[in-house]
Amino acid sequence: MFRNWKVAGIIASVIILGYSCEKDRSSGPEGETVAFVRPSNFPEPVYQFEGNKLTAEGFELGRKLFYDQALSLDNSTSCGSCHQQFAAFANLDHSVSHGIDNCLGTRNAPPLFNMVWQSEFMWDGGVHHIEFSSLNALTNPCEMGMDLDSLTARLSRTSPYPHLFQKAFGSAGITSQRVLKALTQFMGAMVSANSKYDKYVRREPGGEFTQAEQAGYQLFKAKCASCHTEPLFSDFSYRSNGLDLNPLDRGRDSITNSSADRGTFRVPSLRNIEVSRPYMHDGRFFFLEDVLEHYNSGVKAHRNLDPSLRNGERRGIPLSKTDQSNIIAFLKTLTDHEFLRAKKFSEP
Amino acid sequence: MKLNTLLYLAATLLFGSANLSSCKKDDGGPLKSETGALQIEFENRVGNQALVLNSQTYENANGDDFKVSMFKYYVSNLTFIKDDGTEVLVPESYFLIDAADPATRTPRVDSVPVGDYKAIKLTIGVDSLRNFAGAQDGALDPAKGMFWTWNSGYIFVKFEGSSSKSTAAANKLTFHIGGAKAPHNTIRTVTQTFSSPLRIRKDSEPELHFIVDAGALFRGATTVNFAELNFTMGGAASVLVADNYASRMFRLDHVHN
């Protein structure tokens, strides 16, 4: 009995020590800690919740905020409006995002998962920290249109937010920093690593590839993986895949002011690609078949076209119809049905 | 047995809280050094004239007329330099000065180690580390309107106004200077030497008086012509403006010990 208490005491002190270096906590919140577990086939994450310890209270607050339309100027739009769980938190069938006052943006809402492995966000990489990844959508007049002072004032007079912030951060007060950190806890915990592909590489049950999937995987490794690098299925670089001869959207150049970046965009992850259509930065392709055919025959001679898509006069990646259908079969093994249905990420 | 258990838990908790304090920022050594405070006043001007928002018309080095509707800037990383060259950085020293909010013009700085100093160094803007850190609070709260949401990073100096020479809509002038990455890094530091040593003591509060010249954005290495340059939000043009103000925007006028 005494022995058990001793163990309990040590555990208690370990928990206290765990919180003791957290800057923005005057006392540790109660309740269990939401664990972040790195999948065994993934590298170390970029963001390790430093200064923003992942807790059940912080995560639940972030989840509530994520789905609350009160975060938009006219109470019409939540984060979840354009980031739908069944679409891996992309916006199904919307080429570009649809904000307050029926305002249409210029780019496709990206899916949200495995964000803690990303050091830059958005199609142009203009946001360089996960804690700021929600800031543009919150404040952009064509998205949620809020200014941060109005947002924190609104939340401060909306029950039960004052209580929830107190619980999550250990002291009273609602600041933009706390809103962003809570949202980060929720989104940062969104890990998608249980697709058939993951089970295949981890040699787990349910990871048996069909012949088409296996053939597609071999083709993928030979023809696609130099940009869509495993296991995150992106190398997070910015490239032009020759969508247009004269792109309307400056892409990465709007951040770097460099003509070499004109019309280049972040290489997107291909995880959950089956369910997160439409595709490309402007959502121009609605079917994976269109995307594969683009690489086979549609690549334009844009002046910043990626060298990997240029072979002398030949542009693109030669892919027969069979190659294309095998690659698509493989891409569908990247769908993580557990993630798409996980209750903890759904609207509370 | 039950009492023993409680005592054990209490001891464990105490041990835990001792560790809690050990994680606080170290203030320089095993012995806690004495600190004092000082007051800084930032007096905003355009050239030799007081800065009056909206109503007053000024002239830049190119002879272009202009009015100022907004002038906000970050001053950070205050560093006091001793006679022997030792630099003492005031931790968490981030100040946002807003010409429209008189209360921001006279920040109080505490926790400066007691001693005599020959110079002060400050950053115009926000250091690179904090630009690339996550969500911040206080003066660095993005709610202050000094953070680019689409291209993460702080706006270091925000000047808005109008000029009859500006070719922008409504003759506007928009100079949002920021950017912490090469080749468009606009972080600049200024060092000013005191004519007599600044004495930081436990029980006095000296005052540093800076004159801050908004006109410094437009003259120096590049004479800004508002017909050609009336809008910048980071990038190469912002670097030209930062190079202009780096050595001319802040001038230490006097010290009251």
pLDDT tens digits along A5-33? 444 443 343 333 333 333 333 333 434 34
CATH code where residue A302 lies: 1.10.760.10
For residue B194, the distance in angstroms to the closest alpha carbon of chain A comes to 36
What is d(CA A196, CA A102) in angstroms, rounded to the nearest whole number?
38
Choose the final residue of a domain: A135, A159, A193: A193
Among chain B, residues having any CB pair with chain A shorter than 8 Å are 1, 4-5, 8-9, 12-13, 15-17, 19-20, 22-23, 132-137, 141-143, 147, 149-153, 184, 234-236
For residue B256, give the H/E element and its range.
strand B250-256
Q: How many CB atoms lie within 10 A of CB A119?
A: 13
- CA dihedral (B148, B151, B152, B157) in degrees, to 10, reads -40
Domain annotation covers residue A346 = no
Same domain? A103 vs A237: no
Option in A12, A129, A255 nearest B133 (CB) = A129
Q: Is A30 helix (H, G, I), strand (E, B) or coil?
A: coil
ipTM above 0.85, yes or no: no
**B136 neighbourhood in chain A, CB within 8 Å:** 177
Same domain? A9 vs A95: yes
Same domain? A263 vs A329: yes
B15–A13 C-beta distance less than 8 A: yes
State the helix-helix crossing angle for A161-169 and A56-66, rounded to 10 degrees: 140
Measured in residues, chain A has a length of 348
The single residue listed with the structure tokens 């907004």 is B70
Same domain? A324 vs A228: yes
- For residues A35 and A179, the answer to whether their CB atoms sit within 8 Å is no
Among chain A, residues having any CB pair with chain B shorter than 8 Å are 1-2, 5-6, 8-10, 12-13, 16-17, 20-21, 24, 51-52, 122, 126-132, 135-136, 138-140, 147-149, 152, 175-177, 180-181, 184, 254-255, 257
Domain annotation covers residue A343 = no
- List the Cα angle A133/A134/A138 in 5-degree steps: 145
- For residues B226 and B165, the answer to whether their CB atoms sit within 8 Å is yes
A122–B134 C-beta distance less than 8 A: no
Option in B13, B23, B132 nearest A129 (CB) = B132
Range of the domain at A11: 5-193
Whose CA is closest to B244, among B226, B225, B218? B218
What is d(CA A311, CA A173) in angstroms, rounded to the nearest whole number?
59
Same domain? A179 vs A205: no
pLDDT tens for the 257 residues of chain B, in order: 444 444 444 444 444 444 444 444 444 444 567 999 999 999 999 999 999 999 999 999 999 999 999 999 999 999 999 999 999 999 999 999 999 999 999 999 999 999 999 999 999 999 999 999 999 999 999 999 999 999 999 999 999 999 999 999 999 999 999 999 999 999 999 999 999 999 999 999 999 999 999 999 999 999 999 999 999 999 999 999 999 999 999 999 999 88
Choose the final residue of a domain: A168, A193, A218: A193
For residue A37, the distance in angstroms to the closest alpha carbon of chain B comes to 22
What is d(CA A147, CA A295) in angstroms, rounded to the nearest whole number?
41
Selected for mutation to probe chain A from B152, B184, B238 (highest A CB count within 10 Å) is B152
Same domain? A104 vs A216: no
Same domain? A240 vs A299: yes
pLDDT of residue A24: 35
Domain annotation covers residue A300 = yes
pLDDT of residue B32: 60
Same domain? A118 vs A20: yes
Q: How distant, in Å, are the alpha carbons of A62, A116, A310, B249 from that of A151?
A: 14, 25, 48, 35
B23–A181 C-beta distance less than 8 A: no
What residue of A is the nearest CA neighbor of B9? A9
What residue of A is the nearest CA neighbor of B4? A2
pLDDT tens readout for residues B127-170: 999 999 999 999 999 999 999 999 999 999 999 999 999 999 99
B132–A10 C-beta distance less than 8 A: no
What is d(CA A251, CA A265) in angstroms, rounded to the nearest whole number?
6
- For residues A56 and A43, the answer to whether their CB atoms sit within 8 Å is no
What is d(CA A333, CA A225) in angstroms, rounded to the nearest whole number?
15
Would you give the DSSP letter of residue B243? H
- For residues A137 and A144, the answer to whether their CB atoms sit within 8 Å is yes
The single residue listed with the structure tokens 């609350």 is A68
B23–A177 C-beta distance less than 8 A: no
Option in A9, A24, A135 nearest B149 (CB) = A135
For residue A185, give the H/E element and its range.
helix A176-188
Same domain? A189 vs A200: no
Q: Is A286 helix (H, G, I), strand (E, B) or coil?
A: coil
What is d(CA B202, CA B37) in angstroms, rounded to the nearest whole number?
7
Q: How many CB atoms lie within 10 A of CB B253?
A: 11
Same domain? A168 vs A247: no
B141–A175 C-beta distance less than 8 A: yes
Same domain? A172 vs A263: no
What is d(CA B163, CA B178) in angstroms, rounded to the nearest whole number?
22
Whose CA is closest to B236, among A257, A58, A202, A154? A257
Q: Is B83 exposed, middle or buried (0-12, 13-18, 19+ CB in 10 A)?
A: exposed
For residue B98, the distance in angstroms to the closest alpha carbon of chain A comes to 17
pLDDT of residue A101: 85
The single residue listed with the structure tokens 């006219």 is A74
Q: How distant, in Å, are the alpha carbons of A17, B96, B257 from that of B208?
A: 42, 17, 9
Choose the final residue of a domain: A172, A193, A214: A193
Q: How many CB atoms lie within 10 A of CB B239?
A: 18
B152–A129 C-beta distance less than 8 A: yes
The single residue listed with the structure tokens 């290489």 is A267
Instruction: Give A89's strand partners.
Output: none
What is d(CA A314, CA B129) in angstroms, rounded to the nearest whole number?
45
Domain annotation covers residue A345 = no
Same domain? A172 vs A209: no
Domain annotation covers residue A347 = no
Domain annotation covers residue A302 = yes
Option in B17, B135, B150 nearest A131 (CB) = B135
Q: Is B164 helix (H, G, I), strand (E, B) or coil?
A: coil
Domain annotation covers residue A76 = yes
Count each helix (H run) and each strand (E run) in chain A, helices first: 13, 4
Structurally, chain A folds into a number of domains equal to: 2
Domain annotation covers residue A348 = no
**What is the CA A284 to chain-centroid distance, rounded?**
20
B137–A13 C-beta distance less than 8 A: no
The single residue listed with the structure tokens 């305002």 is A103
Option in A16, A152, A180 nearest B135 (CB) = A180
- For residues B51 and B159, the answer to whether their CB atoms sit within 8 Å is no
Residue segments in chain A with a per-residue pLDDT below the cut of 70:
1-33
pTM: 0.85
What is d(CA A60, CA A168) in angstroms, rounded to the nearest whole number?
9
B141–A184 C-beta distance less than 8 A: no
Option in A138, A149, A177 nearest B137 (CB) = A177
